[in-house]
Amino acid sequence: GENVEQHPSTLSVQEGDSAVIKCTYSDSASNYFPWYKQELGKRPQLIIDIRSNVGEKKDQRIAVTLNKTAKHFSLHITETQPEDSAVYFCAASKTGTASKLTFGTGTRLQVML
Amino acid sequence: KAGVTQTPRYLIKTRGQQVTLSCSPISGHRSVSWYQQTPGQGLQFLFEYFSETQRNKGNFPGRFSGRQFSNSRSEMNVSTLELGDSALYLCASSSLGGQTTQKETQYFGPGTRLLVL
């Protein structure tokens, strides 16, 4: 089955700096890659997603890049703010089992003032 | 639209008991997936229901089961509870899910936190 690895497990950055979280997947058939943000005690919330027919997607301060050949995708957050502090999860799924998301282990991002 | 709702939010049970959790998807969503979240194992897929049928299943023992009703509401049941079943159980809904990744965005509920003593 699919396996998703996520690095780093924790990340501390100064406010205003950029943060990058990387994930690799094993199943070459995976074609959907969402990123979720989970604040303490709250539900995971989708922040951005990308499909395999696109190499990069951007939404304001957040961007995701996908390298299908290397089977890895990354989340980039620019101009980090304290409210960006949370746990971020990457995930992967594929057509046919699109609702079966395989998640990475999460990255705890702390934005320091 | 109202978001995904789950009841109850917190639950304490003892080993050997069984528990039923409920999930109401976003109106119009027909796919409901269930996930278990623990500090050690992270987020793991349990199963997905679509039009009252289980369409996908994760690698959990048969003690974990579910069902979906005609209004798309879903329940999951865990029988013979073990200490290791203590977790946050999340459900997520999407409009179609399954066959296409075009409508697969999953929206999560707040979860039910289960503690097994």
Bond prior to B25 in cis (omega within 30° of 0) = no
Are B45 and A100 in contact (CB < 8 Å)? yes
Residues of A in contact with B31 (CB under 8 A): 99
Q: How many Cβ contacts (< 8 angstroms) between chains A and B? A: 74
- A45 phi/psi in degrees, rounded to 5: -125, 135
pLDDT of residue B2: 82
pLDDT single digits (tens) B16-44: 999 999 999 999 898 999 999 999 889 99
Are B55 and A99 in contact (CB < 8 Å)? yes
**B101 → closest Cβ in A98, A102, A106:** A98
Which among A88, A86, A87, A81 has a CA at the least distance from the CA of A113? A81
DSSP state of B59: S
pLDDT of residue B69: 97
DSSP codes of every residue in B86-110: -EEEEEEEESS-TT-STT---EE--
Angle, CA B15 vertex, CA B10 and CA B20 arms, to 5°: 45
Which among B14, B8, B6 has a CA at the least distance from the CA of B35? B6
**B101 → closest Cβ in A42, A93, A106:** A93
pLDDT single digits (tens) A40-85: 999 999 999 998 888 999 999 999 999 999 999 999 999 999 999 9
List, in order, residues 6 or more apart from A81 with CB less than 8 Å away.
A15, A111
